[in-house]
Structure 1
Amino acid sequence: MQGKRGASYQQSCAADLEAGFLTGYRDGKSLFELQSTLNNARATLDKQQRALKQLEKDISVKTELLVEDGLVKEERIQLLDDIEALKLELVAATDRLPALQQDVRRAQTLYQQAERRFSFYQ
């Protein structure tokens, strides 16, 4: 449990118990690190998905501005350039999604395997 919580070992075990404790501590620490990796992968994927939604929103806003009355030619050209740049960012961000999703699946599989491997502790 100490390792699984990410707590550090304080060298507080009696010498005759330390070897057994350290085995369990290291196993728990492995679970903690795998859980951290999974949490980071999920956070990265969530961040990317939020960025995609923001890009879509930005494209929509600029597209609406494009058809407003009172814009001069240069302003419309700038908006078109902005929209094109945002679309390129959107494509690039979308292209990164499968790798990020794979990272989450991989991290989740490794964590689940470790949980099964160490299930005898519970």
Structure 2
Amino acid sequence: MKLVKKLVLITSIVQLTACSVMSREECLTADWYTVGYEDGADGQLSSRVGDYREACAEYGVTPTLEDYRLGRRSGLEKYCTEAKGYAEGIEGNSYKGVCPYESESLFLAGYRRGKEVYQAKKEWEDIRDDLRHAKSKLETLDEDIRKKERKLVKEGLTSAQRSAILQELNNIRDKKQQLQHRIYRLESDARWSKQQYNSLRYRSNW
């Protein structure tokens, strides 16, 4: 019974995905050259036409493959440029290997530069996130220290209780000192990674 439910669910998902590719009106009025051109200009795989075939079969429409392929080929001429490669790389997008041999090297040259800038920016942002987290934790430790200090001077504490609180206080202070060293290193790393990111970005000059 569970297997049947899973198969029904998978079938429903596949059908929903197919329907979401093209609507009835889009299937009936499609200019397949234009559809291909738009896919090519967007760097889509040629297998995408199979999704259209599946989606439009319900409405008795079959994509005109020759028109689609011609349009996609023209669209790829717009996509497979150095500038577009850079734009894809700097956004962290993956390359699907769609460019023809004669233009792929130019596209990849831009893509690699863009990806390098993307990675540098991501590294800087990751360090900034670590730094924010560390500073937030430092504020928490400072508050814990203040609480322990107030507790330490309360009247009526036994010697053992006071000693235990003092030990806890010293432990927190040690953690604070270690965290302060970490924050110092992170601040230094953040400055360096920001310089690297800006240097790569300005050097690319797109």
- TM norm structure 1: 0.89
2:43 counterpart residue number: none
The reply to whether residue 107 of structure 1 matches residue 202 of structure 2 is no
* More displaced 10-residue stretch of structure 1: 89-98 or 104-113: 89-98
Q: d(CA) in 1 for partners of 2:164 and 2:99? A: 68
Cα displacement string for residues 55-87 of structure 1 (whole angstroms, at most 9, x for unaligned residues): 111101111222334533322211111001111
1:94 counterpart residue number: 180
Q: Which has the larger radius of gyration?
A: 2
* More displaced 10-residue stretch of structure 1: 71-80 or 58-67: 71-80
Report the CA distance between 1:6 and its aligned residue: 1.0
RMSD over aligned Cα atoms:
1.4
Q: How many residues align?
A: 120
Which of 13, 19, 31 pairs up with 2:117?
Answer: 31
Report the CA distance between 1:14 and its aligned residue: 2.4
Q: d(CA) in 2 for partners of 1:83 and 1:66? A: 9
1:61 counterpart residue number: 147
1:12 counterpart residue number: 98
Greater relative CO, 1 or 2 (CA 8 Å, sep 6+): 1
Q: d(CA) in 1 for partners of 2:193 and 2:175? A: 27
Q: d(CA) in 1 for partners of 2:99 and 2:155? A: 76
Q: d(CA) in 2 for partners of 1:21 and 1:53? A: 48
1:48 counterpart residue number: 134
User: 5+ unaligned residues in a row in structure 1: which ranges?
Assistant: none
* More displaced 10-residue stretch of structure 1: 69-78 or 11-20: 69-78
Report the CA distance between 1:24 and its aligned residue: 0.7
- TM norm structure 2: 0.55
Cα displacement string for residues 80-118 of structure 1 (whole angstroms, at most 9, x for unaligned residues): 110011111112221222221110010000000001111
User: 5+ unaligned residues in a row in structure 2: which ranges?
Assistant: 1-86
